[in-house]
């Protein structure tokens, strides 16, 4: 019984603490880059609306200009929402893990790991959906 309790009460040493802090720093950087990229995507979409509608009218002349742009806009908004939620959990997890290590608070650290778990679970689901989507296209 004592062996099980010692396994559950893991301690993070100096080396592990530094590694987790570095990983949290990189995760935070990547989440900021992801959110910034989504903002730039929306800005480009708004600035290049005319070019996009002209390209859509050449590609699919039966679709109206506004309908085609609305379809592209709906898909991009869905993608921005998905990536935004993923980046939120990555940013939150990285921030809480780093803060938990700095102030040596187990609850904050655990909340950060929980956010990272949510991020990876959602990312895994979208990765599996992407694989299935690619397989359907190949068939």
The predicted structure's pLDDT at residue 125: 96
In a domain, 54, yes or no: yes
Contact 106, 54 (CB under 8 A): no
- When divided into structural domains, the chain yields a total of 1
Name the one residue in this structure whose structure tokens are 């959906």: 129
The pLDDT assigned to 10 comes to 64
- Which domain, by its residues, includes 73? 15-138
The verdict on residue 9 lying in a domain is: no
Task: Write the pLDDT tens digit of every residue in 52-110.
Answer: 777 777 777 776 666 777 777 888 889 999 999 999 999 999 999 999 999 988 899 99
* C-alpha neighbours within 13 Å on the C-beta side of residue 4: 1
Evaluate whether residue 44 is within a structural domain.
Answer: yes
Q: What angle do CA 68, 77, 50 make, to 5 degrees?
A: 40
The pLDDT value recorded for residue 119 is: 96
What's the whole-model pTM score?
0.80
Mean pLDDT across the chain: 86
Share of the chain above pLDDT 70, in %: 90
């Amino acid at each position: 019984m004592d062996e099980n309790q010692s396994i559950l009460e893991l301690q993070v040493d100096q080396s592990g603490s530094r590694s987790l802090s570095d990983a949290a720093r990189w995760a935070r950087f990547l989440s900021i880059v992801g959110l910034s990229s989504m903002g730039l995507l929306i800005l480009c979409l708004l600035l290049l609306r005319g070019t996009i509608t002209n390209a859509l009218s050449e590609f699919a002349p039966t679709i109206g200009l506004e309908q085609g742009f609305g379809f592209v806009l709906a898909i991009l908004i869905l993608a921005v929402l998905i990536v935004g939620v993923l980046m939120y959990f990555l940013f939150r997890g990285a921030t809480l893990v780093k803060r938990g290590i700095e102030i040596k608070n187990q609850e904050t650290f655990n909340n950060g790991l929980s956010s990272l778990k949510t991020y990876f679970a959602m990312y895994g689901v979208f990765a599996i959906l992407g694989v299935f989507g690619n397989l359907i296209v190949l068939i």
